[in-house]
Structure 1
């Protein structure tokens, strides 16, 4: 796994994000509730992290996610995307 030129993210992060986005679109298209999609993705992500990372690294990822919520970053995202069932 190689890091980007700034040393911040793996070079394949964009590709992985695109695959996840397509999976989300598919599940929503199958009328799976957004909370179920999100819960399944979060559970899968935590399971993958548990198998491939040490607890301090997982805690750092979760702290970063919490910081995004607390800083209003997700609110900005919410306002720039079309509404879906369950995010209103």
Structure 2
């Protein structure tokens, strides 16, 4: 796994994110409830992490996610227009 030049994220993270975005878009078009999509994605992510990392590393990732929620990062995402939406201007 190659890291980006700053060493912060795998170089294929953007590609993986784009694939997930398309999968979410497809499931929404199939009228699958957002909570069901999110729960399935979270369960799948935890399953993948548990197969590739030890419990301590998984817990660290979950703590980082919790800090993002507590700091308001997710609130900012809720207030942003959805990807692909036209922004007046």
TM-score normalized by the length of structure 1: 0.90
Task: Supply the distance in 2 between the matched residues of 1:61 and 1:5 (Cα, whole angstroms).
Answer: 21
Q: Which residue number in structure 1 is paired with residue 73 of structure 2? A: 73
Q: Which residue number in structure 2 is paired with residue 29 of structure 1? A: 29
Task: Supply the distance in 2 between the matched residues of 1:43 and 1:73 (Cα, whole angstroms).
Answer: 21
Higher radius of gyration, 1 or 2: 2
Task: Supply the distance in 1 between the matched residues of 2:66 and 2:74 (Cα, whole angstroms).
Answer: 10
- State the shift of 1:81 in Å: 2.6
1:25-53 deviation digits (Å, cap 9, x = unpaired): 00000000000000000000000001011
TM-score normalized by the length of structure 2: 0.89
Q: Which runs of 5+ in 1 are unaligned?
A: 83-88
Tell me the matched-pair count.
82
Q: Which runs of 5+ in 2 are unaligned?
A: 83-89
Stretches of 4+ moved more than 4 A in 1? Answer: none
Q: Which residue number in structure 2 is paired with residue 86 of structure 1? A: none
**RMSD, aligned CA:** 0.8
